[in-house]
Amino acid sequence: MIITTSSRITEELEEEAVKLSAALHLDYVVRNKRSLAKLQEEYGDVLLVTKEGLVLEYANGQSFAFHPDTAMLRIKAPRDPLIELVGPEKRSVLDTTMGLASDSIVLSFAGHEVMALESQPLIHTIVARGLQTFDAGNSAVNQAMRRIQTRCTDSLTFLKSQPDQSVDIIYCDPMFSEVITESENLSGLKPLANYQAFSEDFLAECKRVAREKIILKAHFRDPVFEDFGFTRHIRPYQKFHFGEIVLGEKHGS
């Protein structure tokens, strides 16, 4: 994989590409008016720095870029199951599996204080930049995205560094054990994602760090809810369910 700029190169884009090449340990290649296909033929996957954002163009034709489309659809919906589980009062929420940050955006838009963790540096770089620069055409959505704090770190490592009961709610959305073919917006994310399974060690740290509850999202066929003691909230005709472990009313203690 290499990093380069869009064909409409500017000094700012070139400076950013050089900085990112060092941060991500990728070779920076000057575009020199070469087509994307030509670059892919020579180097394989290409990370493009464009005016609109970062775009990872895979040699196989797939691509990955940040876009808040899923979050915006959920924001416009009359109700959202995750928001209902978190509750109406402002809470601090730790999203341990940022991915495309759809859940984080919805939570932030609802007024919650959100920190999102992403273990994969390339995903974190693309999505974190998008959260800070993407114009959704809606000032309230833009503000919600800008408020989200992100960290590039393994979630278990991060949790182990946190004090007891230091966040109200911990949210987990690990990559599904069952493939949901309809989730085309995730297709470009799959080659980069962390498929580490939910574990007892991880849950123990969640119980120590969270004050109020732990929320889990998983495929409806996944036994993770029952295996780890979550109360499953069944959503008829939906491909995924939510579960929760309530730790008690510890907020403000």
pLDDT digits (tens, 9 = 90+) for 97-143: 998 999 999 999 999 999 999 999 999 999 999 999 999 999 999 99
CA-derived radius of gyration, the chain: 19
Do 51 and 174 belong to one domain?
A: no
- What is the pLDDT, as a whole number, of residue 21? 96
Query: CB-based contacts of 161: which residues, under 8 Å, 6+ apart?
Result: none
d(CA 149, CA 171): 15
82, 47: one domain: no
Residue 180's pLDDT band (boundaries 50, 70, 90)? very low
Q: Which domain holds residue 207?
A: 69-246
Buried b (16+ CB within 10 A) or exposed e, 39-78: bbeeeebbbbbbeebbbbbbeeeeebbbbbebbbebbeee
Q: Which two tokens stand for residue 16?
A: 């950013």
Is residue 114 in some structural domain? yes
Which pLDDT score is estimated for 117? 96
In a domain, 100, yes or no: yes
8 lies in the same domain as 92: no
Collapsing DSSP to helix, strand or coil, 171 comes out as: strand
- The pLDDT tens digits for 33-58 are 899 999 999 999 999 999 889 999 99
Instruction: At 4, list the tokens.
Output: 């380069």
44 and 164 both lie in a single domain: no
- Of 47-56, 191-200, 220-229, least confident by mean pLDDT is 191-200
Residues 35 and 80 in one domain: no
Q: Per-residue pLDDT averaged across 193-206, rounded? A: 76
Residues 106 and 212 in one domain: yes
Confidence of residue 152 (pLDDT cuts 50, 70, 90): very high
Same domain, yes or no: 128 and 60: no
Q: Is the pLDDT reported for residue 237 higher than 90?
A: no
Let me know if residue 129 belongs to a domain: yes
Q: Are residues 206 and 96 in the same domain?
A: yes
* 96 found inside a domain: yes
Among 16, 44, 64, which residue terminates a domain? 64
> Do 121 and 234 belong to one domain?
yes
Instruction: Say if residue 108 is in the same domain as residue 136.
Output: yes
pLDDT band at 182 (very low <50, low <70, confident <90, very high): very low
Cα angle for residues 151, 156, 248 (degrees, 5° grid): 100
Last residue of a domain, one of 16, 32, 64: 64
The answer to whether residues 90 and 37 belong to one domain is no
pLDDT at position 185: 46
50: left (phi over 0), alpha (psi -120 to 50) or beta: beta
Strands across the sheet with 113-118, in order?
149-152, 113-118, 92-95, 167-172, 210-219, 240-246, 231-233
Phi, psi of 250 (to 5 degrees): -105, 0
Tell which of 47, 64, 81 closes a domain: 64
Whether residues 58 and 99 fall in one domain? no
CATH number, residue 105: 3.40.50.150
Q: What is the mean pLDDT of the chain?
A: 88
Which pTM was predicted? 0.87
Domain-located, residue 252: no
CATH number, residue 59: 3.40.50.10480
- pLDDT for position 252: 41
* 253: in domain: no
Pairwise pLDDT comparison (177 vs 203), residue with the higher score: 203
Distance CA(58)–CA(66), nearest Å, equals: 15
Counting the structural domains of the chain, the total is: 2
Position 175 scores a pLDDT of 61
Q: Give 67's pLDDT tier (boundaries 50, 70, 90).
A: very high
At residue 221, the pLDDT reads 85
In a domain, 231, yes or no: yes
Three-point CA angle 211, 213, 215, nearest 5° = 140
Q: What distance in Å separates the CA atoms of residue 86 and residue 213, rounded to the nearest whole number?
A: 9
Bridge-based pairing of strands 113-118 and 2-5 is unpaired
